[in-house]
Amino acid sequence: MASSTRFVSRIAGQTARFPPLAVPRCAVSRPLSVRPRSVVSSSQSNLRCRPSNAPPFSSPRCFSTTGSLSRSKTMGQLRARHSNGPFSWKAALLFVLTGAGMIVYFRFEKARLERKRIAEMSKGVGRPKVGGPFVLKDLDGKEFTAEDLKGKYSFVYFGFTHCPDICPDELDKMAAIIDKVKEETKDENIFLPVFITCDPVRDTPEVLREYLREFHPGIIGLTGTYEQVKHVCKMYRVYFSTPQNVKPDEDYLVDHSIYFYLMDPEGDFVECIGRQDTPESATKVIMEHINDWKRDGKPLDTK
Amino acid sequence: MSWLPWSSSTEKSSKATDGGRIAPDRSSRQRCWEGRDAFFGCLDKHSIIDSIKEDKEARRQCGQEIAEFESSCARAWVKYFKEKRVMEYNRDKTIERIKKEDSEKVAELKAQGWTPK
């Protein structure tokens, strides 16, 4: 907003510079109206006769059809007009407000179209596709597929429970985002946070449940076989380095991408939220997309 | 420290009933990070960056801290944090060097009459 106020003050600066330029143009464009003509006569009489100070009989050659009262009124208006130009403060205010309104509107529209472009980037043909069909299982052992993500905005994160420092930080952030989005959508239940493990050998449903419970009860934990997890990582372009033939009691780390993926209700990728985002900035991005979706009147599953 | 889920003496209890491996919880993570910070603080004092290459020196100077650190974190984590310390040190060095070179270049160009936009 700081930049738009700067804009407004720049326009205000321009209006202040307008009057001296606009005066002659206005006088020329209105030669037939009454006031400019009386302007000419009164200014001439003013120069030659000084009628207000001199007694009436001492200036017989001075002839004017306008009375001194109405003339002085015109003079007052003329002076005001001359010093301010054709723009009264009301006109200036209107001009500034209209300008500011247009700027705000154009900026808003530009930002909206930019988001729309980002959101639709993954919808066209030949675009890099993030996401897609997968089969995993949830913490109750039930099958969970990409279809189950549809209808709501989903927020997908890949990680593993034995992650030393980055994932716990990111999951705390995820918890904060969930609460913020929930607050802003007024409990509409249109936001689905999902955690997919990259380390299915160690991260069984029981382990995941215990782990995620500490961050946020609303996070849906997903796991699967090694092949299933490898496949979903590939679909989401997540770097996958989990060793295959390890035993659960072996001690190892898994390298993986550390992005959150925002997916729209049709299951298409919208945007990444990364390490640099705060819960506030992430929530802002998410809410902008949700509100755009609503404004377009597209369906959302609130169940 | 045998009650920690990943220490070898309690290997069985770290197993989840469905075959998974129970991960460190929030408080164990916190303990591990505190052990790490204490150990790295000691390394800073003795100007040791790479505690893997300079393992002997690190153990001699910070014996108590490294024992505490290694007992409160999983082995993979200990290795990860030690490597990360070196990586971050090199990264910061590089950033510093680039910044320095950058400002030198700007000073040089300014001396030739160039003004930044």
Q: How do residues A196-209 score in pLDDT, each as one tens digit?
A: 999 998 899 999 99
Which residues of chain B register pLDDT less than 50?
Answer: 1-13
pLDDT at A127 over 70: no
Three-state DSSP at A222 gives strand
Set of chain B residues whose Cβ sits within 8 Å of the Cβ of A214:
25-26
Report chain B residues whose CB lies below 8 A from the CB of A165. Answer: 29, 33, 81
Q: Is the pLDDT of residue A73 over 90?
A: no
Q: Are A135 and A224 in contact (CB under 8 A)?
A: yes
| Residue A144 CA to its chain's centroid (Å) | 34
What proportions of chain A, in percent to the nearest 5, are helix, strand and coil? 50, 10, 40
Please name the helix (run of DSSP H) or strand (run of DSSP E) that holds residue A159, with its range, or none: strand A153-159
pLDDT exceeds 50 at position A43: no
Residue A108 has pLDDT above 60, yes or no: yes
Strands A191-197 and A153-159 come out as parallel
Cα–Cα nearest to B100, from B112, B108, B89: B108
| Residue B22 forms contact with A (CB below 8 Å) | yes
Chain A residues with CB inside 8 Å of B32's CB? 164
- Chain A within 8 Å of B17 (Cβ-Cβ)? yes
Name the helix (H) or strand (E) containing A52. Answer: none
ipTM at complex level: 0.75
* Spatial CB neighbours of A77, under 8 Å, sequence gap ≥ 6: A35
Q: Where exactly are the structural domains of chain A?
A: 95-127, 135-295
Give the residue on A whose Cα is nearest the Cα of B33. Answer: A165
Report the residue from B11, B16, B33 with minimal CB separation from A206: B16
Check CB contact under 8 Å for B6 and A248.
Answer: no
Left (φ > 0), alpha (ψ -120 to 50) or beta: where does A225 sit?
beta
| pLDDT interval class at A16 (50, 70, 90) | very low
Residue numbers in the known binding site of A for Cu cation are 163, 167, 256
Length of chain A: 303
> pLDDT tens digits for A128-170?
678 889 999 999 989 999 999 999 999 999 999 999 988 899 9
Measure A95 CA to nearest chain B CA, in Å.
33
B39 burial (CB, 10 Å; 0-12 / 13-18 / 19+) is buried
The whole-number average pLDDT for the span A43-61 is: 44
Secondary structure (DSSP) of A5-48: HHHHHHHHHHHHHHHHHHHHHHHHH-SSSHHHHHHHHHHHHHHH
Annotate A84-151 with three-state secondary structure. Answer: HCCCCHHHHHHHHHHHHHHHHHHHHHHHHHHHHHHHHHCCCCCCCCCCCCCEEECCCCCEEEHHHHCC
* DSSP H or E run through A154: strand A153-159
State residue A188's pLDDT score.
87
Q: Calculate how close chain A gets to B36, using CA atoms only, in Å.
A: 11
Whether residue A214 contacts residue A174, with contact meaning beta carbons closer than 8 Å, is answered with: no
Contact B74 A211 (CB under 8 A): no
Minimal-distance CA residue of chain A relative to B74: A251
Measure in Å the smallest separation between the Cα of A230 and chain B Cα atoms.
18
Comparison of pLDDT for B19 and A24, the residue scoring more: B19
Distance, in Å, from the CA atom of B55 to the CA atom of B70, rounded to the nearest integer, reads 13
Model-level pTM greater than 0.95?
A: no
Cα torsion angle, A249, A255, A256, A258, sign: positive
Which is more confident, A195 or A84?
Answer: A195
A140 close to B (CB below 8 A)? no
pLDDT score recorded for residue A23:
39
Average pLDDT, chain A: 77
Chain B positions in Cβ-Cβ contact with residue A205 (cut-off 8 Å): 18, 20
Paired strand residues for A157 = A195, A260
What number is the average pLDDT over the span A250-267? 86
Look at residue A253 in the predicted model and tell me its pLDDT. Answer: 86
Average pLDDT over residues A70-95: 69
Higher pLDDT, A66 or B57: B57
The answer to whether A241 contacts chain B (CB < 8 Å) is no
**Residue B73 distance to chain A (closest CA, Å):** 9
Look at domain A135-295 and name its CATH class: alpha beta
Judged by a CB distance cut-off of 8 A, whether residue B27 touches chain A is no
Q: What is the pLDDT of residues A168-217, one digit of tens each?
A: 999 999 999 999 999 999 888 899 999 999 999 889 999 999 999 999 99
Choose the weakest-confidence range: A1-5, A78-82, B81-85. Answer: A1-5
A206 has a chain B CB within 8 A of its CB: yes
pLDDT at A34: 42
